[in-house]
Structure 1
Amino acid sequence: MSPDDRALLSRLFDAAVHAADPETALRRHLPARPAGRTVVIGAGKGAAQLAAAFERLWDGPLEGVVVTRYGYGCPTERIRVLEAAHPVPDAAGIDAARALFDAVRDLGPDDLVVALVCGGGSSLLPSPPGPLGLDDEAALNRALLASGAPISVMNAIRKHVSGIKGGRLAAAAWPARVVSLVVSDVPGDDPAQVASGPTVPDPLSLADARTLVASWRIALPPGAAAWLQRPEAAAPDPRDHRFARNEVRVIASARLSLEAAAAAAEAAGLPAVILSDAIEGEARDVGRVHAAIAREVAARGRPFARPVAILSGGETTVTLRGAGGRGGRNSEFLLAFAIAAEGTDLAALAADTDGIDGSEPNAGAFADGTTAARLRAGGLDPVACLGGNDAWTAFDRLGDLFVTGPTGTNVNDFRAILVRQRLNT
């Protein structure tokens, strides 16, 4: 890949992340000051940055607590920042969930709760219900992540196996008014799906959750499976009177970030198209489809004229097939893309806007039409790496990992493909 293409792809990613900057996003959505107290709560990989931005913008007294992933904290003055494990929850997450409940206890109707919610909150707020413990919730997370089910399905199940998700935290804050300011990382931007909706109830019922488990053939651990058969597993109904005064606002999303990246491409003299901001499916399959579209554009100028930057967002999934492989959904997407794009002049970047692809320290990776050949020349079989879910090793060997560190926001995956020249077929 040329240095110019790598630099442009990086600029497009930066434009997408900047569009979801916490202070920029919050400024347009601040609620009115209440007559009583203002309590800030929150969860997600960008929660600390949201809390710091809210402190800078809020004209009045406030207090509160938010939880973020280990290493994602930042300095705050009045809002306490806790850290816990992601993507598999730990005991610190249980303590954080309790701290959020403590923060909203004994509030009155004149008080305001501001919930800063973004992606990652599902894992950061374990609250095992009934007889279940942390091991049960961790086992549930591992089973869901390995299932290949879309995030909407995983969250629909999670919120019925929890003491905090599915609106339960907002119900505990009643009679205070709750305003949820949500940075969406889910396809379709349904705020009830972000972080499994700790302050936003969902109409999907317990029966719906059971149906999803069966239809996706998810092998739930015994504790979670047994709990889902109990009537008390049902999450609160959105029509519950405790939610009547609450408000929900999506303040940043993949759509807005992709539009910002498209504008950045246009400013660089390259036309841009957005396929979708809500693409789901198996990462490797989505990668192959993106490669097929890009090859069609390069070879025949359809469905888009070349040159062009092809952009997309959403959240793919990875079904674990290998043992010991390393890599997240973006690197897996990109390795499948690279195999299908071998021999072309295509260049691509796929990365998570929060700066972390799965559990690895990279946001994603770069790939082009030479990636597969360079891997073989270096002693790695790209097809075998893909088969073993070991995309991180492949891109690390080439020096093509894309490392940003925590970005302070999370609006899902970002993918950009540059189609510069005609492909000879």
Structure 2
Amino acid sequence: MTRRVALGVAAAVPAAMIAARAGADPGSGAGAGGTVGPTTPAAGQPAQARWTPERAQQWRAQNPWSVGCNYINANAGNQFEMFQAQTFDPNRMSLELGWAKGVGMRVIRVFLQDQLYTADPAGFIARLNTFLATATAQGIKTMFVLFDSCWDPNPKPGVQREPTPGVHNSTWVQSPGAAALTSQDTAKLQAYATGVVTAFANDPRVIAWDVWNEPENLADSYPLAPPDKVARVAQLLPQAFAWARAGNPTQPLTSGVWADTRPEIRAVQLAQSDVISFHSYDPPEKFRAMAADLAKQGRPLLLTEYMARPQGSTIEAILPICKELGIDAYQWGFVAGRSQTYYPWDSWKQPYTGARQPQQWFHDLLWPDGRPYRDAEVATVRRLTAAV
């Protein structure tokens, strides 16, 4: 029996939350890729420079306004379970991405993990190729995230621990982890970033590269988190952009700014990104203000994380503004599952177990069987994407 069998999603959402559904959030309803391999830039070909604003706008003209999500299949709790050989599940991915297509999504943002490439470059690239073929069969393009500063700083491949009951994203791991981040040897990280980008540098199934997710996120509630983490990341972030550019991608590079961005991090992100991406879990007024400020960069805008229902960041409130302003929108989460991101962030301090359940989901759009959590949300996405 493989690990994949043990990761069934039938019990992904606690019974207590299911029982509360009728009273808290009523809803019902049902809910071709080519082959690519590693490529090498021509000998002596220099790494490209940052795109000009004009080139970025040409990219926008070729890639019209799109809606999508941050995607992880429901029977995976983190990047390892999604992409390591023993738990990689393209059948489940195909089912869920078919639901995404039916909702009206045309893009997804997907997190990778450097140790998977280091352990088995060819196998990892092959699985990414299979994933891209699966997504493209549903008419969906992918933004890959190379590095990520969120949650557990001690990633280890292999069998992953079970999700902590009632806790948001409890098995998610950083890339690089604390050990790699504090090491003076960056050769493996460089090989990973350049190798993955090079493999898909000319692949139309990849819409963009997110070089580093929330690089200033401390995630300091874990043991062994480096006390000087942000300073180390600030040093590595320009290198990470350079490593990605060394793959000579035809797709743009980006790294998303957010409200709490440290100045030294934000400066690198805005100076290096070909297109400007950002995170906002704020209500409409604050979201509009942030978007207006970033629009001064003169480059296409991508909202790569949003939707925190209790905070006023909802599909009905934010997505119409994104369409009005031409900002691609990627909500956090899609199908409720092992990531447990339907629980709020405060679950890290006080888990939602037993009778204690949130009044509404924090993230995620569908139940594990594909039913909408809220019919109105799915209807809004379908309506706004119908003519795109």
Output the TM-score relative to the length of structure 2: 0.31
| Greater strand content | 1
Give the number of the structure with larger relative contact order, counting CA–CA contacts within 8 Å between residues 6 or more apart: 2
